[in-house]
Amino acid sequence: MTSAYIISKLPYAPPFLFVDEILEINAQGVTGLYKFPEDSFFYSGHFKDNPVTPGVLLIECMAQIGVVSLGVFLISSENYENVESDRKIGLSSTEIDFFKPVFPGESVKVVSTKEYFRFNKLKCKVEMFDTEENLICRGKIAGMISREPAL
């Protein structure tokens, strides 16, 4: 399963797609990359004279790579029917600790390890690193997969 295939199945589009590439993926986890564009709209208002990537968007990037991309892989691997048309993926919980900021134009690497996937719930340990492998943030993110329409 290719990086392009997985990204094409994600329920996001620019400017809210925070996945550039999936480097590695298997049933136990995923590693992916994203570069926060310098001209992203949110930088103009998130600390006027010192723009910083909002923490909620760091969590979103971690969730898109570390949980949703892995969920797409796991669902596709289990041969579920109509993956793209009738499956809904929603965040159910997060617990994230932050250690350093991400500035405009910076690239990040997200590494996720599956803790469990059962009863339609996927929970992962997720870490984000900068290009020098410094830890930016880490924690746990869980999401639910359902056939029901999104609310």
Residues 6 or more apart whose Cβ sits within 8 Å of residue 94: 59, 63, 139, 140, 141, 142
CA angle 127, 135, 35 (to 5 degrees): 75
Reduced to 3 states (helix: H, G, I; strand: E, B; else coil), residue 57 is: helix
Q: Is 113 exposed, middle or buried (0-12, 13-18, 19+ CB in 10 A)?
A: middle
Which phi and psi (to 5°) does residue 56 adopt? Answer: -65, -30
Question: Could you confirm whether 142 is annotated as catalytic?
Answer: no
The residue from 11, 21, 33, 46 that is catalytic is: 46
- Cα 144 to its chain centre, rounded Å, is 14
Q: Which residues are catalytic?
A: 46
